[in-house]
């Protein structure tokens, strides 16, 4: 969440330098460069000056790397404690050039930006506070530093700006349609959450992010689910999944939400079971097409029974009491509780495997990896079997579906025929040829439909009779 940060070291000294540079630009005469920003829906034009890169600070609150900060909990905690220190600023530099989905890898988009700056120079100015904190242009500053540049062009925000204003300006700049590099998915979710914490309505936030209100509610549900899973993944030693671990799962999480909403009002237990199973599959890095096989038919086909059971799961209570009311309400069904317990085990194991905490020994990591491997293999077999079953169902349904499409076309043909006759525009010869082709197709359909059916249904019986009549003519 957004918070008021302390002023960086030598803030007054740097503030004087900025004020002096701004005044020099104004007194120089001629055309001055300005950059336009938006605050509360109103444009604001600010002066652009050159400032030494060595004196600029990366913004610890930038939305660009909000989720990625969780990559290293120890360095993130140090960043909270001393955002302007050398180690904290180095961590921010590391995250700005890292891949959003996996900070251990370098981001190709960062290298593209660096190469562009090397070839063409800095086209667009950044934005800086009067204390030298970058509001916009953090990534550009990181790239310029790697290129060995000494200065950067920046627009200077008014002295009256609060941290709330700074975050609002950065968000408004990011949400411009012509912005070249989007926030990562989780960082967009965090930005929406931050706006909601400021008291803004879902309609206002959805408008700013250029999405529908129902999409905003979907995104909030997804972030809430991620936070719940991260908390459930925490082991006794405190290791847990991080926000950054869910980057790249955007489409799979959205499809999960759509399935959950569809089923929740009909069968809450089924919705909860499928939610847990899909989340486990997403965490195990199954593809979108694989995860789709985990649906109502997955449960009907008994594929859930092929998945591992949680070890040492306690017996589930039949009911739970409501504190203060003395009421007993039904507990989650045993199927929901068992599935949740299985997912909890996978969550905790994945948290250990992905953790870099030195307190976790090799034996603990090896044991966690075994849990993940067993789950991976079990899900792989169950999903593969569900896929085969789905393909078989599709083949069974393909012929009836095609016939239904043909019926719709014939119904439309009847309407077209009436209109053509009323306007006397029917090509009767061409129409007759088409009917002959229809007859031939029906003859072939009858030959196949009647095979191996000792007692055909009403439709097939009619078709066979029609063909038989045609053959006696």
> Per-residue pLDDT for 316 more than 60?
no
What long-range pairs does 170-178 form, CB within 8 A, spacing at least 24? 170/59, 170/62, 170/63, 170/127, 170/135, 170/136, 171/63, 171/195, 171/208, 172/37, 172/38, 172/39, 172/208, 173/37, 173/38, 173/127, 173/136, 174/63, 174/64, 175/208, 175/209, 175/210, 177/210
First to last CA, the chain: 83
> 144: which 2 tokens?
């310029």
Query: Which pLDDT tens digit goes with each residue over 71-107?
Result: 898 999 999 999 999 999 999 999 999 999 899 999 9
The predicted pLDDT at position 329 comes to 47
- H runs (alpha helix) in 148-284: 163-174, 185-197, 202-208, 213-232, 250-264, 268-283
Give the residue, 292 or 404, on which the prediction is more confident: 292
Taking only the tens place, the pLDDT of each residue in 260-275 is 999 999 999 999 999 9
Task: List Cβ neighbours of 354 (8 Å cut-off, separation of 6 or more).
Answer: 241, 242, 245
The residue with tokens 């995250």 is: 95
Collapsing DSSP states into helix, strand and coil, what is residue 125? coil
* Residue whose C-alpha is closest to residue 121's, from 96, 78, 151, 99: 151
pTM for this predicted structure: 0.70
Q: Dump pLDDT digits (tens) for 421-446.
A: 888 898 988 999 999 899 888 888 88
Tell me: the pLDDT tens digits for 137-150?
Answer: 999 999 999 999 99
Model confidence at 315: pLDDT above 70: no
d(CA 130, CA 243): 32
3-state helix, strand, coil in the chain (%, to 5): 60, 10, 30
Please state the φ and ψ torsions of residue 153, each to the nearest 5 degrees: -85, 130
Place of tokens 């009909």: 266
Residue 363: per-residue pLDDT: 85
Q: Which helix (H) or strand (E) holds 44?
A: strand 42-52
Torsion angles phi and psi, residue 254, rounded to 5: -65, -45
pLDDT at residue 310 above 50?
yes
39 CB burial (10 A radius; 0-12, 13-18, 19+) = middle
> How confident is the model at residue 311, as a pLDDT?
77
* Average confidence (pLDDT) over 337-355: 93
DSSP category for residue 153: E
**pLDDT for res 399:** 79
Tokens of 103: 């900070």
* pLDDT at res. 180: 52
Q: Give the model confidence (pLDDT) of 381-404 as tens digits.
A: 999 999 998 888 777 777 787 888
Query: Which pair of tokens denotes residue 68?
Result: 């990625």
Is the pLDDT at 349 greater than 90? The verdict is: yes
Q: Which SS3 state, helix, strand or coil, does residue 315 take? A: coil
- Return the pLDDT at 314: 46
């Amino acid at each position: 969440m957004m918070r008021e940060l302390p002023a960086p070291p030598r803030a007054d000294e740097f503030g004087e330098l900025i004020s002096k540079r701004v005044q020099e630009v104004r007194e120089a005469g001629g055309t001055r460069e300005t950059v336009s920003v938006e605050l509360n829906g109103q444009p604001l034009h600010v002066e652009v000056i050159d400032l030494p890169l060595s004196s600029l600070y990366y913004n610890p609150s930038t939305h660009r790397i909000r989720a990625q900060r969780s990559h290293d909990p120890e360095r993130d905690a140090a960043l909270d404690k001393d955002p302007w220190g050398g180690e904290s600023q180095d961590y921010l530099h590391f995250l700005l050039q890292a891949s959003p989905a996996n900070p251990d890898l370098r981001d190709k988009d960062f290298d593209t930006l660096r190469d562009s700056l090397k070839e063409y120079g800095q086209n667009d100015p950044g934005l800086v506070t009067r204390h030298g904190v970058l509001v916009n242009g953090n990534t550009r500053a990181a790239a310029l530093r790697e290129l060995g540049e000494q200065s950067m062009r920046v627009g200077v925000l008014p002295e009256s700006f609060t941290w709330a204003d700074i975050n609002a300006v950065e968000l408004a700049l990011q949400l411009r349609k012509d912005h070249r590099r989007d926030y990562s998915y989780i960082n967009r979710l965090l930005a929406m959450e931050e706006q909601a914490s400021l008291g803004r309505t879902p309609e206002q936030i959805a408008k700013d992010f250029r999405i529908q209100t129902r999409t905003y509610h979907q995104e909030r549900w997804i972030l809430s689910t991620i936070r719940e899973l991260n908390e459930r993944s925490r082991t006794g030693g405190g290791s847990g999944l991080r926000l950054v671990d869910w980057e790249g799962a955007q489409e799979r999480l959205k499809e999960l939400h759509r399935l959950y909403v569809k089923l929740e009002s009909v069968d809450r237990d089924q919705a909860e079971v499928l939610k847990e199973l899909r989340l486990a599959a997403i965490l195990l890095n199954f593809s979108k097409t694989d995860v789709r096989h985990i649906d109502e038919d997955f449960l009907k086909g008994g594929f859930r029974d092929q998945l591992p059971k949680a070890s040492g799961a306690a017996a589930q209570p039949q009911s739970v009491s409501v504190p203060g009311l003395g009421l007993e309400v039904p507990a989650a069904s045993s199927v929901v509780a068992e599935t949740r317990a299985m997912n909890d085990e996978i969550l905790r194991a994945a948290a250990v495997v992905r953790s870099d905490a030195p307190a976790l020994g090799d034996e603990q990591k090896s044991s966690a990896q075994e849990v993940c491997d067993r789950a991976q293999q079990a899900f792989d077999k169950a999903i593969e079997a569900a896929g085969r079953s789905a393909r078989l169902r599709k083949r069974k349904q393909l012929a009836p579906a095609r016939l239904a499409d043909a019926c719709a076309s014939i119904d439309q043909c009847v309407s077209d025929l009436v209109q053509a006759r009323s306007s006397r525009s029917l090509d009767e010869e061409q129409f007759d040829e088409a009917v002959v082709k229809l007859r031939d197709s029906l003859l072939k359909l009858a030959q196949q439909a009647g095979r191996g059916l000792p007692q055909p249904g009403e439709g097939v019986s009619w078709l066979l009779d029609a063909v038989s009549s045609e053959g006696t003519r």
